[in-house]
Structure 1
Amino acid sequence: MIAEFRLPDLGEGLPDAEIVQWLVAEGDPVTLNQPIAEVETAKAIVELPSPFAGVVRRLHADAGDVVDVGGSLIDIDVPSGDGDAGPADDVDAPGGVGSAEGVEGVGSAASEEDDAEGAAPASTEEDADVALPNLVGYGAAPRGTGRPQRRARIAGRRPLVAADAAVREAAPHDVLAEGGAADGGEDAGDARRERPRSTPPVRLYAKQRGIDLALVDASGATGIIRREDVDRFAERLTAASAGAPADASAGASTLPPVSRPHAGPRETRMPIRGVRKATAAAMVRSAFTAPHVTCFLEVDVTETTALVARLRSDPRLAEHRIGILAVVAKAVCLALHAEPSLNSRWDEEAGEIVQHHYVNLGIAAATDRGLVVPHIDDADRLGLAALADAIRDLTDTARAGRATPAALTGGTFSITNFGTFGIDAGTPILNPPEAGILGVGAVRRRPWEHAGEIALRDVMTLGLSFDHRLVDGEQGARFLAAVGDILRDPGRALLLV
């Protein structure tokens, strides 16, 4: 039978999502829970698992299309057992592959109509095995089914972009040997069978530059292709087209360039989608709803930088890589307990001020997709080392495009680090519905009054923006002073524990 999978609500309450790329093609076999597509919402890129096992019959949208929640995504020809019995009859747990109840649990819908022309042949033992696994969240899979594997990429399944075709037509064997044979023979199929390992932002970046990642080598030991690997491959193509080999393997290649800076239109128009659209809406709502007040404080953080240096040199803490941002985060958590008005939100609909007795600390992260602010749950309960680990994991996940929708909502206070870009100060805009956000500037070695004399000291500028409906100037000033006191003398944190 033909089962239709519709775009589920991914837990963000958003009306639609953009298809970044399909991981399967029409005619491909798929297993239960195998990733079939990557979709981008206003907050994150997520992989959609298949709720069925069978053969892909139709893709209802192309990469780059925006699909409404509930809209048709893919049709899968699901084996129907011995004729009348559906695949759910072969599964002991409720909500099996063919169960409409199990599918609706993830926001999809199945069609029970048979497709006379596209129906699968009579059931075989192999077909029964395909239908056995159960949908995630609906009981354990039968023993022996194993872990679902990502679909192998088969040569010729998808159309090549212009740059791919040019490379395959003009590139000599010594260049293509790294990514696959130039012809479509068996060797080429083997070389391109596995999907290149990379992150969604890198795949999008390569797509925008017209480069097939199957031709790109990963430089790191992990085997994951990075932006610099894409740039290096593009430089080789450009150098080869200019007649000057970029390295020994390029030889006397005469490959066409990926792009020419002087060619093409004078401007580019891009649809407002995804993170950029969500960020713009949130910032406009924040700027024109919450009355912002920003105050600044310059702090001598010499003692904090000395503390960080001592912690980093301690072999027992080497794996935690504690930095000054972790100390700032800890100071913020302690100061929020002293000034709880900064850890609250304005509920206009209920006519209430909601004060949080926990700290879900947001850390602004710049990514290829735009600015996102994932948060650390109950950050106030973490020690300094655990907080440093959480910040590192959170930012790495966000930059890889894998931050979950849950991690991107529900924060109670945020930190944005200007200093990582060498900026001294700024006026951060609130991340609604939070009442405050702290901007952290770069640490500068400056002449500073210390112990009655002028000395070179490490100085940082802090900028606090807060919602004046919730926070008075006095409360904002006390909070910022408390953070500054801890950074000036980390021992003072003991007074606030």
Structure 2
Amino acid sequence: MPFEITVPRLGWSMEEGTFVRWLKKHGELVNAGDALFELEGEKAAQDIEAVDSGLLVIPSNAPQPGTIVAVGAVIGHLVAEGEAAPAVVTGASASVTSSIPKTSAPANPSPAADTSTLEEPAAAPSVRRLAREMGVKLASLEGSGPAGRITANDVRTTGSRPSTVAANHVLSSIASPRARRVAKELGIDWKGVKGTGRDGRVRERDVRTSQSQPRPASTSTPTTISSRRRTIANRMIASRERTAPVTLTTRIDATNLVGLRLQFKQAGEGSPIPSYTDLIIKLVALALRKHPTLATRDEGGQWIVPASADDIYIGMAVDTEDGLVVPVVSRAATLGLFDLAKQTLSLIEKARTGKISAADMQGGVFTITNLGSFGIDAFTPIINLPETAVLGLGRIRREPVVIDDQIVARDQMSLSLTFDHRIVDGAPAARFLQTVSQAIENPSAWLLRGDI
């Protein structure tokens, strides 16, 4: 009996994905567990394994690379020798019946298989999708990434087009106070008004005259929204709609944290040297052992708390060219600090080279996001569903503070905790933030107690 090959669900909210390519040829023998095709779901591409064995049937109307496919859609079949595959309909295309002849040699591939098995330039799935959206052929590009890999910047540089500005559009840099006031009242940008005064000065009459003149046609063009950007947008909206978010912010002394990392750097022991984010991931994981409610996951209306310290997986927000992704550090509470640093470094590298998998982003119970490197002091992070809380890290800044009636220079930073008030009340959340603050202010004692 033919076995249907369907599009699986790669994430809790996934309803559709992007078909990337077949990894097997039409007529090829496939064993259970073999990588069958590549599918891009919520923020990551993943090789989909066969769950049965047989000869692969790829119909002529199978999805092409880059096609959006719905979860559960049938895109092919696995059959026994000589067995005919039923018709497969994709979208509005006509159904086609494909079969494998009873022979040991693979049959000639269908047109769909020919297209999908052609060798493509080295590029991440998200980069290939961007090229399709911008109408850029990857084969015509020379990659600037490692080993000639094509990056998103290569595609954008090739696909960009200079904008045009109307020849009669004159920007004035001078306007009279009356002209500015009238422009504000009328809702007119006086900088776009052609001045008739001395040296092109914009006067009141120029503003009022421009109001009656037809405005030049807009030169703006619509922005192409990638499927990853849509996924991020949908998840952000879902987070706001399904949670009762409250954000608590506190200012802490990070002098000892800075000193500890400096000691790691000076000692030169261990590779890689733990970053500030690595240290805080470890400290937050230890704090969650004392406050497990903040690590609750909302699983279909059931609130699940980690059963043990080994179940504390911490997500870290990573900024990439194609949008935000949140890889997950496994066993953060029990993992050694240097092993944790190696894991985060590997996850960040995979995220920024487009090699992150869905498995690398699953199981998180708490997320940390750091905007300190951008000079941000405090912000309001958004909860990463189905988690309960997220911690935002601000920049570390040397500031004067009063200690024992003396003004001294100390390293200060802000922490912003957003939590779901449906699950956690304000006081328990505040106590957790207190614990995290104490851990960061005295990291050595906490890390030694955590068996780093």
Normalization by structure 1: what TM-score? 0.63
Task: State the 1:390 CA deviation.
Answer: 1.8
Alpha-carbon distance in structure 2 between the residues aligned to 1:347 and 1:18? 22
The structure-2 alpha-carbon separation of the partners of 1:70 and 1:20, relative to structure 1 and needing over 3 Å to count, comes to: closer
Corresponding position of 2:164: 262
Alpha-carbon distance in structure 1 between the residues aligned to 2:240 and 2:14? 24
Corresponding position of 2:17: 18
Name stretches of at least 5 consecutive residues in structure 2 with no aligned partner.
87-94, 166-217
Aligned with residue 129 of structure 2, among 175, 189, 204 = 204
Task: State the 1:5 CA deviation.
Answer: 5.6
State the identity as a percent. 30
Does structure 2 retain, via aligned residues, the 8 Å contact 1:417–1:440? yes
Does structure 1 retain, via aligned residues, the 8 Å contact 2:252–2:414? yes
Q: Deviations over 1:257-311 (max 9, x none)?
A: 863333997332656x744444444433433443322111222212212221221
Corresponding position of 1:425: 378
Alpha-carbon distance in structure 2 between the residues aligned to 1:56 and 1:469? 48
Q: Deviations over 1:431-453 (max 9, x none)?
A: 23322211011222333335653
Does structure 2 retain, via aligned residues, the 8 Å contact 1:201–1:368? no
Task: State the 1:380 CA deviation.
Answer: 0.7
Task: State the 1:375 CA deviation.
Answer: 1.9
Alpha-carbon distance in structure 2 between the residues aligned to 1:361 and 1:465? 15
Aligned with residue 420 of structure 2, among 463, 467, 477 = 467
Aligned with residue 320 of structure 1, among 272, 287, 295 = 272
Does structure 2 retain, via aligned residues, the 8 Å contact 1:210–1:258? no
Aligned with residue 138 of structure 2, among 207, 213, 218 = 213
SS at match of 1:379: coil
Does structure 2 retain, via aligned residues, the 8 Å contact 1:196–1:213? yes
Q: Deviations over 1:12-57 (max 9, x none)?
A: 36664333544589x9776748867543223422234677656855
Corresponding position of 1:166: none
SS at match of 1:411: coil
SS at match of 1:331: helix
Normalization by structure 2: what TM-score? 0.69
The structure-2 alpha-carbon separation of the partners of 1:8 and 1:194, relative to structure 1 and needing over 3 Å to count, comes to: closer
Aligned length: 380
Task: State the 1:461 CA deviation.
Answer: 1.0
Matches within 5 A, 1:31-110: 32=30, 38-48=38-48, 58-74=60-76, 80=81
Does structure 2 retain, via aligned residues, the 8 Å contact 1:444–1:460? yes
1:225 paired with 2:134, answer no
Corresponding position of 2:324: 371
Matches within 5 A, 1:57-206: 58-74=60-76, 80=81, 115=99, 123=103, 126-127=105-106, 194-206=119-131
1:410 paired with 2:390, answer no
> Aligned-pair RMSD on alpha carbons?
4.2
Does structure 2 retain, via aligned residues, the 8 Å contact 1:200–1:400? no
Corresponding position of 1:337: 289
SS at match of 2:247: strand
Alpha-carbon distance in structure 2 between the residues aligned to 1:114 and 1:231? 40
Task: State the 1:328 CA deviation.
Answer: 0.7
Name stretches of at least 5 consecutive residues in structure 1 with no aligned partner.
87-97, 101-110, 131-152, 159-191, 235-256
Does structure 2 retain, via aligned residues, the 8 Å contact 1:418–1:440? yes
- Specify the code of the residue in structure 1 equivalent to 2:67: D
- Specify the code of the residue in structure 2 equivalent to 1:266: S
Task: State the 1:415 CA deviation.
Answer: 0.7
